Chains A and B, each alone.
Chain A
C-alpha cells in the first residue's frame, strides 16, 4: 500500500504517527481513506470545494501533484505521498 508522510502539525490527528500506509490508487482516494481513518485530516488538506488548499503542497513520487493530475494523480503500491506546507521564500 502507498505510504503517506505526515508533517508534524498534522500528527496530533494521527496519534503522533509520522507515516501511514493507506489504500488507494489515486490521490483523491488516498485522502478520502486518510479522512476516514483519522477524521479531520482530509479537511486540513482540501477546501470546501474539495480542491487542495492553496497553501498545501502534495508530492507523489517526489513530484508536486499540481504538475501531475492533481487529485487524480495515480498512486502506486510502492509510492510515497508527502504532504508539505508552503514555506516562505529564500
Chain B
C-alpha cells in the first residue's frame, strides 16, 4: 500500500529543486490534482466563537475545543465524485474536504497514507451471524496504523504555518507515525510516551531518529505534560495545539468506506474508542458526503468498543449519561488506554444520535478477538482490533447485531506492534529436528 516518495517533475515545480531536502514536496498525486486553501479559520466547538487560524486549540472565550471552519461555498464548487476518483491513491484524493492551509502543494505531506483496503470478511461474518461484514484495514498505512491519517494532515498544517518542530503525546501509534513523518520530511520531532509501552511501539518510534521522551507515568500523565510543554516550547504538538487540523484527518476513513462501497453508506460501523475523536470524525465525514451530494441515504449507526480496563465512555453509555467519568487505565489495549477521553462526550452523542451501542470487553477476550480475526480473515491486528472484534462477538451474543446490516469494522493498527499481547499463548504448533522421520512422528503419521 505504501507509495514511495516521488521526485517532482520539472514542469510542476519550474523553480527547480528545493534548496533543502526538508522543502522537498512529499506529494504523490497526479500533477493536475492541485489543492488550494479551503479553510477560513477556527471556531469553538462549544460556543461557536471564531478564532484566527493558527496553532491554537482552545477557545479564548469559553476554553472549549476549536475546530476548522471550511470555505463551504468553495467546497460545493469543487467537490465531485469525478475529482475524487481522479485524485491520488491516498487520503489526499479527498483533499477538498480536508484542511488545506496553503496553496503551495509542497507543504503537503503524503507518504501514501489512506485509501486502505476495505475487505470483505465472510468467515468472520459467519461467526458473528452476519450476512455482510467488511474490514477497514488500516494496518496498511505507512507506519501501521490509522494515525498516519491525522499526522499527514497535522504535519501539512504545521508546514503551512511555518512550524519547524513537531511533537505529540502518544499511547504508541501516534508516536510511530509522527516519528516516521518527521524523518521523511526532515523535521525535528519530540514524541512523549509512557515508558512502559510495548517494545514495538518504543522501537517503532526511535528507529526513525525522533527524540523519544519516555515518561514515568500513564498516558494521561503524558498528555498533561505535553499540554504544559506545548505552552512553553512553542512546538507543534499534533494532538494538542494542532488538534483542530489533526482530528480532521480521521474523516478520510469515512470517505473511503463510502467510496469503496460504491458511493453507498454501510448500515453499521463499529470501531475502537480511545479519545473518541476518530469515531466522531467518521460520523462527520458521512454527514459531509451527504451534504455535498456524493452519497444518499440514511447515515450509518455508529458503535464504539473499549477494553474493560479503560472504559470511561462505555461506562457513561451504560449509565445513559453524557458525563464521562475519568478512569485509571489498566488494560493490555494500550492504544486505547486513555482514561480521560477528550472527545468522549462527542462519541456518546454520535452513538446516541445514530442508534449505536458502546461496549467493553476484558483483556482475555481482547486476545481472543485478535486471534479470531487472524484465524478467520488473515488479518493480524493490534490490541485495538482485538477489542473491536471481541465487542462484536458480545454484540452478536446479546442480539444487538442485525443479520442483514452491511457492517464495517475498523481495524486501526497492526498486530506486529503489540506482539506481547498474544506471544504468551501463541507459538509453534510443532517443534521438530530437521528430519523427515521426526516431522512425520510429530504429525502422527
Contacts and interface: CB of A to CB of B under 8 A. Distances in A.
B340 A86 contact: yes
Interface string B259-270: 000000000000
A84 interface: yes
B63 to A, nearest CB: 4
Interface string B262-280: 0000000000001111100
B343 A59 contact: no
Contacts of A62: 221
Nearest to B150: A88
Interface residues of A, number: 27
Given A10-B63, A85-B57, A55 B342 contact: yes
Interface string A41-70: 000110000000111110100101011000
A89 B247 CA distance: 9
Interface in A8-27: 8-10, 12, 18
Given A55-B342, A82-B228, A89 B239 contact: yes
A87 B169 contact: yes
Given A84-B227, A87-B342, A9 B60 contact: yes
A90 B227 CA distance: 13
A84 B231 CA distance: 10
B235 interface: no
Interface stretch (B69-77, B119-127, B321-329): B321-329
A59 B169 CA distance: 18
B114 interface: no
Contacts of A9: 56, 58-60, 63
Q: Which of A8, A59, A89 has the most CB of B within 10 A?
A: A89
Nearest to A67: B326
Contacts of A45: 63
A7 interface: yes
B342 A89 contact: yes
B334 to A, nearest CB: 11
Contact of B239 (A7, A8, A82, A88): A88
Interface of A (DSSP majority class):
mixed
Contact of A59 (B64, B224, B240): B224
A82 B63 contact: no
A88 B227 contact: no
A12 B60 contact: yes
Contacts of A5: 228
Contacts of B63: 9-10, 44-45, 53, 55-56, 85
A84 B326 CA distance: 15
B369 interface: no
Interface in B302-360: 323-326, 328, 338, 340-343, 345
A8 B57 CA distance: 10
Contacts of A66: 325-326, 340
Contacts of B173: 90
B226 interface: yes
A82 B227 CA distance: 10
Contacts of B64: 53, 55
A82 B65 contact: no
B171 A85 contact: no
Interface of A: 5, 7-10, 12, 18, 44-45, 53-57, 59, 62, 64, 66-67, 82, 84-90
Closest 4 CB pairs of A and B: A89-B275, A86-B342, A90-B170, A9-B58
